[in-house]
Amino acid sequence: MRMITAAAMLLLLTAACVDPEASIEPAGGQYPLKLTNCGAEVVFDKAPERVVMLKSAAVPYLHSLGVMDRVTARAGQYPKDYYDGATQAEIDKIPLLTDKTDTSGHLQISKEVVISQQPDLVLGQVDNLSRETLDAVDIPLLEEPAMCPGATEVPSFDSVYRQMESYGTVFDRETEATAAITQLRERLAKIQKPSTVRTAAVLYPTVGGGVTYAYGSTSMAQPQLEAAGFTNVFGDSKERVFEVTLEELLGRNPDVLILLYSDGDPKAVEQAVTGLPGADKLKAVANGDVMPQLFNFTEPPSPLAVDGLEKIVQRFS
């Protein structure tokens, strides 16, 4: 296996590390609220009321807390397949600043456009709008812990619960956060693992030809597969995500393949693997046990990962 170089790293491949330093510390009551996010201190004098959302990762959290109406503008991609009708209706009401991205999937938006919205919180850091830039104009930024550079904690479903608690404290919705966590725990408790443990691999193929990536033990794919009753054939790798060849895949020959993708035609995603010369020798391909799945249903840790788990169990039960 070859480790991904920094130059080849895409946004989708930076989304499965958990910030081990993330913490919330109320100072003398609920507010002012001090929060450590990606190693930086963030202070809130009150619950945010004008939120600009530059990434979709926070959507399931904010919906669960009932604060989507505080998002006054959004930018980026919000695939409809991720959301139920109620959540989608909330998203549709939020003005879209832009959904333009570069070839690597990075959002293209100017700092002037974001600052002109006069937000009291920006959710999601993008390449051309850093935390330092927003700090200079007294606008706090929160990034998903799973997106923090340099974080090393292994993700789990507990990561989802902690982030729900974090948002609940920031928005003064602790009661709603507790209820949402309880519901997530109950859903996980209902998952019935099969009596026979099978093997699986979670991949991110490149449609149209190119590199295929696999997910190791420090990705959210690991606890998701375990909860579904699968053994990750790449679970011996300490790398979160890395390049993998067909030869390596054939050598491990998983019973099931789960193919992550960000958008586009799931059939094309499947063909990107099954159409490789020699792929027909894979057990998963020969038996038709190949499942395309939208990326955020597995990574980063969020309530969507519970949705993704249920989809995996339903598909292979």
Which residue spans within the chain are E strands per DSSP? 23-26, 33-37, 40-44, 51-53, 71-74, 121-123, 141-142, 198-204, 212-215, 230-232, 241-244, 256-261, 290-294
Please, which pLDDT band fits residue 145 given cuts at 50, 70 and 90? confident
pLDDT value, residue 164 = 97
Please, which pLDDT band fits residue 246 given cuts at 50, 70 and 90? very high
Give the number of other CB atoms < 10 A from CB of residue 19. Answer: 24
| 187 has pLDDT over 70 | yes
pLDDT value, residue 144 = 87
Tell me the pLDDT of the chain averaged across its residues: 89
Overall average pLDDT of the 90-103 stretch: 90
Residue-wise DSSP of 121-140: EEES-BTTB-HHHHHTTT--
pLDDT value, residue 127 = 83
Question: Residue 154 has what DSSP assignment?
Answer: P
Give which of 132, 110, 125, 133 is closest to 57, Cα–Cα: 125
Is 198-316 the same fold as 21-188? yes
Give the number of other CB atoms < 10 A from CB of residue 119. Answer: 22
| 69 has pLDDT over 60 | yes
Rounded (10°) angle between helices 303-316 and 174-189: 20
Q: Residue 60, exposed/middle/buried by CB under 10 A (0-12, 13-18, 19+)?
A: buried
| 192 has pLDDT over 80 | yes
pLDDT value, residue 104 = 53
| 96 has pLDDT over 50 | yes
Count of all residues that appear for the chain in the document: 317
Query: pTM for the complete prediction?
Result: 0.85
Please, which pLDDT band fits residue 146 given cuts at 50, 70 and 90? confident
pLDDT digits (tens, 9 = 90+) for 21-56: 455 554 445 889 999 999 999 999 999 999 999 999
pLDDT value, residue 14 = 42
Residues 230, 195 contacting (CB under 8 angstroms): no
**Domain coordinates of the chain in residue numbers?**
21-188, 198-316
* CB within 8 Å of 221: residues ≥ 6 apart: 16, 202, 215, 232, 258, 298, 299
pLDDT value, residue 314 = 94
Point out which residues pair with 140 in neighbouring strands. Answer: none
- Here the tokens at position 141 are 């930024």
Lowest mean pLDDT among 27-36, 152-161, 195-204: 27-36
Q: What percent of the chain has pLDDT over 70?
A: 89
Q: How far is CA 104 from the centre of its chain?
A: 16
Give which of 144, 177, 124, 74 is closest to 301, Cα–Cα: 144
Annotation: CATH topology of 21-188: Rossmann fold (3.40.50)
Residues 258, 298 contacting (CB under 8 angstroms): yes
How, if at all, do strands 71-74 and 51-53 pair? parallel
What CATH number does the domain located at 198-316 have? 3.40.50.1980
Q: Under the phi-then-psi rule, with left for phi > 0, alpha for psi from -120 to 50, and beta for the rest, what region is 209?
A: left
Instruction: Return the higher-pLDDT residue of 4 and 295.
Output: 295
| 106 has pLDDT over 90 | no
Which residue spans within 46-126 are E strands per DSSP? 51-53, 71-74, 121-123
- Looking at beta carbons, which pairs linking 136-143 to residues 24 or more positions away fall under 8 Å? 139/115, 140/42, 140/43, 140/44, 140/48, 141/37, 141/42, 142/35, 142/37, 142/42, 142/58, 142/170, 143/37, 143/38
CA distance 22 to 235: 26
Q: In what order do the strands lie in the sheet with 40-44?
A: 23-26, 33-37, 40-44
